[in-house]
Structure 1
Amino acid sequence: MCSYYLAVDIGASSGRHMLGCKKDGKLYLEEVYRFENRMENRDGRLLWDTKRLFAEILNGMKKCAEIGKIPVSMSIDTWAVDYVLLDESDEVPGDTYGYRDGRTRGIEEEVYRLIPEAELYARTGIQRQSFNTIYQLMADRLQRPELLSKARTFLMLPDYFQFLLTGKKCSEYTNGTSTQLADPRTFQWDMELIRLLGLPEEMFLPLQMPGTEVGMLKECVAKEVGFNCKVVLCASHDTASAVMAMPAADGKALYISSGTWSLMGVELTEADCSEESRRANFTNEGGYEHRFRYLKNIMGLWMIQSVRHEYEDAYSFAELCSLAEQADNFPSRVDVSDDCFLAPESMTEEIRSYCRRTGQLVPETVGELACVIYHSLAECYAKTEREIERNTGTHYDAIHIIGGGSNAAYLNQLTADAAGKKVCAGPGEATAIGNIMAQMLHSGELKNLSDARKCVFASFDVRVFVPEKEKAAQ
């Protein structure tokens, strides 16, 4: 019998429990539980319901016991930048804000009064985004000082959930780098920066690498879910886990981790904290084995997800791609990275308003809206690809699209056409696979990252999309 490993992969729109095992040299995945997730609007504040999320984590673990497949270990990954503060009783004294909440508007300038933007980037290598943890914590300092004064422990969300499972507090490195408070040279918190910002340095725990064992489940948790197992740190920033599963053994490839966000970049062994990279808004987030994910955040499928919800989920994503293809000649485009698309009251109306403001045709049908979104994304990918090649001085032959968005064949073809490069799409469950890879590397079932990536390539289908002009030339 094979050993099972449980990946709890929680994204900003859904969560899933995936069991993984290795048989005959291949990885096999089985989804055992899935649940919806979204920020809740409470009196104008966008918040996470961490109690509900933890209950869903336990519900999925119970399913493992029900089907008789008990994992030897488990790990949790989530999106980046959001966190909890624990008081001296290890309770959360206030709301857990979501990154789309507007409380950080204008906060960047408060930070830059203490440290200039260029110096901050040179220290951390992290791109400017208004929702980064550094700005959220500064918002706490200015807007909720009484809460910050009670804080004894700072934990990113995966670390918090694993604390609830084990009673052990641990801060994982890859998600820690997304805070814009870590030093890419020491792979630890930049305590000088933290002091400069007036944040309580004692609440930050040392950063631990993926593969670190947190501990066993607490007795009460084991009794509730029906088994006990180890909790091991994966690369808990979901993009870091997804990039681990990129099916290129040497890691020398362009990738797009495609989901609610599209994270497009390459792996580097040293962070590029240059002024050129800052001006292009690239980031250097931590990866497995002290690698860096040199990438740009692009709005991603959030836009099409939002439009779909506004049409009361009447269309599947496959249907939306089909409708977009039928409206393929619709000419309007939007800047998918414009902040107006971050958290609009209506994504449909925001897209239409953008087109009006810029003198373009206004999309009326759902197919035209989808066409605008998908073409705009593909053109943004192509622009970013050119920036990456210029900044790194490296030519890349292909783009690897991993994650749920790799299933969007229409978008994959548009990307191949816009970039003029072959697109390799898959695996779709890259984040869960990377989560499981970290656990298998910890256990010794996989030898190293290169071995693990070869195993991924042999285990999962990868579809290839060739630019239409190349097809025509053949």
Structure 2
Amino acid sequence: MERTEAASALALDLGSSSARAILGSLRDGVLVTQEVHRLTHRAQMRQGSLCWDIEALNSAVADGLDAARQALGTHPASIGIDTWGVDYGLLDHDGALLRPPRAYRDARMARHSAALEGRIDRAGAWQATGVLPMEINTSYQVFADLQEEPGLAQRVGALLPLPDLLAHELGAPVGVGRAIASTTGLAAPGARQWSPVMAQAIDLPESWLAPLVDDAVVSGSIAGTGTAIVRPGGHDTACAVHSLGLAPHQTALFISCGSWSLIGATVPEPIVEPGVLEAGLSNEVRTDGGVRLLRNLTGLWLLQECQRAWGEDDVAGLVEAAGRARSLGVVVDPDDPAFMAPGDMPAALGEWCQEHYGIEPSGRAQMVRLILESLACAHAEHAERLAGLVGSALAPGAPIHLVGGGARNRLLAQMTATACQRPVVIGAVEASAMGNLLAQFEATGAARPQDRDAIVRQSCQRAVLEPEDPSAFTDMRERLARARIR
């Protein structure tokens, strides 16, 4: 049987410390990926503000395109860019970037967050947007900009989130994809329109707000190359969820696990109820137009910081040893403020256990086991909350889809299955890049949306882990609940 010609696409998967260009080739329903370029970058202080190195990010895009052209012998058929959320660039009325985009860790929001919450309280902001109010949100950042820079309102022609800014630099018209818009705290639930309530609270000029556009459609092309520019979902988690291969209205639990664990449920429409706010959940739009109802939890950051403190790069060896180690019989709260800042994480974990339980881990293996059991219990707690809010579509026994770097950690996946008492379906490790590429192939007609699940199944090895006896995790969660109220 004659093989069809391969379709090509380039995913630019930009994280807050590294940028990767992943070339994808789709032939006969199988997606093959190849990393063709990688760049490390970091935020820098410029004129008193923490800013992203936009020159480095643009170079990563250009160098990735060049590397893809060399690998293919021609230009890729399309390109899509995904990044982290909340940060943005401001264009002037001539379309030029006014200044380097500022980073979400910049200090200016802390100076003005109380003033914004005096104008619209957290419940009001959440009702207007469906997104959990946080100081790093675009809404807080923009308010701080307007407070600190008199005259800025008149100088800005458009606000573009980072993926849309970089796409515009390539030649896409000014616009904002619905998925990334939904993470800003400026859009109404579902991101079909900008929120007039938030715009009024911030004194945000309507002229700043670019048109909202659907994702997974061709938005332009790079001059002289024929390479189509596709908005693949913009946000890396939207792309990761797209890699699950779910139908637009399918409801399912997922965890995108890396330094952070983003646990959520795919639902057809936003759920804007008091219980959702109390659970700390946000309604973020999926690449295909559905909704990701999710919570951001501390994830493998705890292990990564322990590795840094120990000077240990062999994570597989640490996890293998943890699998043989005796459980301490207790877990920590991964979201406790004691674990937020970089530092001596082994000491912080030991002190937390000593303070709350009067015991602490003995050795690295038991420390790693403590971390993984703690993450599994956190996953179980929030999976139960999501199931309670979403209802019968997430009945007991419905699986959890696990993707991202944590998908490599079989011990964590098994612990999560057991703590949650749900099968865990292990998906793509490079989930954001895969979802980005799938969105491009769907936009250019190289693949049909209804074939997404089949492509994922043929392109990455899925494994299903069944839950085991949960009694140990039940005991640990009960001890944690008692420790929290002391």
Give the TM-score of the pair, scaled to structure 1: 0.89
Q: Is the 8 A contact 2:39 2:60 kept in 1?
A: yes
Structure 1 Cα separation of the partners of residues 307 and 100 of structure 2: 29
Counterparts of 2:399 and 2:151, CA distance in 1: 51
Match of 1:425 in 2: 426
Partner of residue 202 from structure 1, selected from 200, 203, 207: 207
Change (3 A) 1:187 1:432: same
**Residue of structure 2 equivalent to 1:373:** 371
**Aligned 1:217-232 pairs, distance under 5 A:** 217-218=222-223, 227-232=225-230
Residue 6 of structure 2 contacts residue 26 of structure 2 at CA under 8 Å; is this kept in 1? yes
One-letter amino acid matched to 2:277: R
- Among residues 222, 239, 242, which one is paired with 1:241 in the alignment? 239
Corresponding residue of 1:224:
none
Query: What's the CA shift string for 1:338-368, capped at 9, x where partnerless?
Result: 3444444554554445445535544575444
SS in 2 for 1:67: helix
| 2:387 equivalent in structure 1 | 389
| Equivalent residues of 1:100, 1:343 under 8 A apart | no
Partners of 2:92 and 2:98 within 8 A in 1: yes
Query: Which of 316, 320, 338 is matched with 1:318 structurally?
Result: 316
2:38 pairs with one of 18, 34, 43: 34
- The one-character-per-residue Cα deviations of 1:112-161 (angstroms, maximum 9, x if unpaired) are 21122222212211123331111122222334446555332211111111
- The one-letter code of the counterpart of 1:400 is H
User: Which residue is equivalent to 1:128?
Assistant: 133
Shift in Å, 1:5: 0.8
Contact kept? 2:252, 2:399, Cα under 8 Å: yes
Count of paired positions: 461
Q: How much has 1:465 moved relative to structure 2?
A: 1.7
Paired letter, 1:440: F
* Alignment of 1:19 onto 2:11: no
**Segment of structure 1 superposing worse, 207-216 or 245-254:** 245-254
Counterpart amino acid of residue 23 in structure 1:
R
Aligned 8 A contact 1:244 1:453 in 2: no
Could you tell me how far 1:44 is from its partner in structure 2? 8.7
**Residues 239-275 of structure 1 deviation map (CA, whole Å, 9 limit, x = unaligned):** 1111111144573321111223221111111111101
Matches of 2:419 and 2:82 in 1, distance apart? 32
1:65 equivalent to 2:59? Answer no
Check 1:248–1:86 CA distance in 2 against 1; reply closer, same or farther (3 A cut).
Answer: closer
5+ residue gaps, structure 2: 471-486
Which letter maps to 2:134?
Q
Closer/same/farther in 2, CA of residues 101 and 436 from structure 1, 3 Å limit:
same
Q: Decide which moves more: 439-448 or 351-360.
A: 351-360
1:385-444 superposed Cα distances (whole Å, 9 cap, x missing partner): 110111111315211101222111121111112112211111112211111111111122
Which residue does 2:9 correspond to in 1?
5
Number of the residue aligned with 2:218: 213
> Is the CA contact (8 Å cut-off) linking 1:332 and 1:362 kept in structure 2?
no
- The structure-2 alpha-carbon separation of the partners of 1:418 and 1:81, relative to structure 1 and needing over 3 Å to count, comes to same
Stretch deviating more after TM superposition (194-203 or 320-329):
320-329
Cα deviations by residue, 1:29-67 (Å, 9 ceiling, x for unpaired): 222222334444679965422211221222222111222
Identity among equivalent pairs (%): 31
Q: 1:248 to 1:233 in 2, by over 3 A?
A: closer
Give the AA of the match of 1:399: I
Structure 1 residues 185 and 4: alpha-carbon distance in aligned structure 2, compared to 1, 3 A threshold: closer
Equivalence map 1:235-274=2 (5 Å) = 235-249=233-247, 251-274=250-273
1:180 maps to 2:178? no
Shift of the 87–389 alpha-carbon distance from structure 1 to 2, 3 Å rule, reads: same
Aligned-residue offset at 1:93: 3.7
Aligned partner (choices 71, 87, 93) of residue 82 of structure 1: 87
Aligned CA distance change for structure 1 residues 28 and 377 (closer, same or farther; 3 Å): same
Cα distance in 1 between the residues matched to 2:108 and 2:354: 28
Alignment partner of 1:240: what SS?
helix
Higher mean C-alpha displacement, 461-470 vs 102-111 = 102-111
Instruction: Answer whether contact 2:218 2:444 (CA < 8 A) is retained.
Output: no
Answer yes or no: is the 8 Å Cα contact 2:242–2:288 preserved in 1.
no
Q: Is the 8 A contact 1:74 1:230 kept in 2?
A: yes
Partner in structure 2 of residue 222 of structure 1: none
Q: CA deviation at 1:202?
A: 1.0
Aligned residue type for 1:131:
I
Q: 1:315 to 1:326 in 2, by over 3 A?
A: farther
| CA contact 1:74–1:231 (8 Å) conserved in 2 | yes
**What is aligned with 2:409?**
408
Aligned mates of 2:42, 2:354 — CA distance in 1: 30
Q: TM-score normalized by structure 2?
A: 0.87
Q: Is contact 1:270–1:292 with CA below 8 Å preserved after alignment?
A: yes
The amino acid that maps onto 2:82 is D
What secondary structure does 1:56 align onto? helix
The 3 A distance-change label for structure 1 pair 155 and 305 is farther
The 5 A counterparts of 1:86-97 are 86-97=91-102
Q: Please tell me the residue identity of whatever aligns with 1:176.
A: A
Over aligned residue pairs, what C-alpha RMSD do you find?
2.6
CA contact (8 A) 1:6 1:436 kept: yes
Letter in 2 for 1:58: A
Superimposed CA distance per residue, residues 222-242 of structure 1 (whole angstroms, 9 cap, x where no aligned partner): xxxxx5511111111111111
Partner SS, residue 34 of structure 1: strand
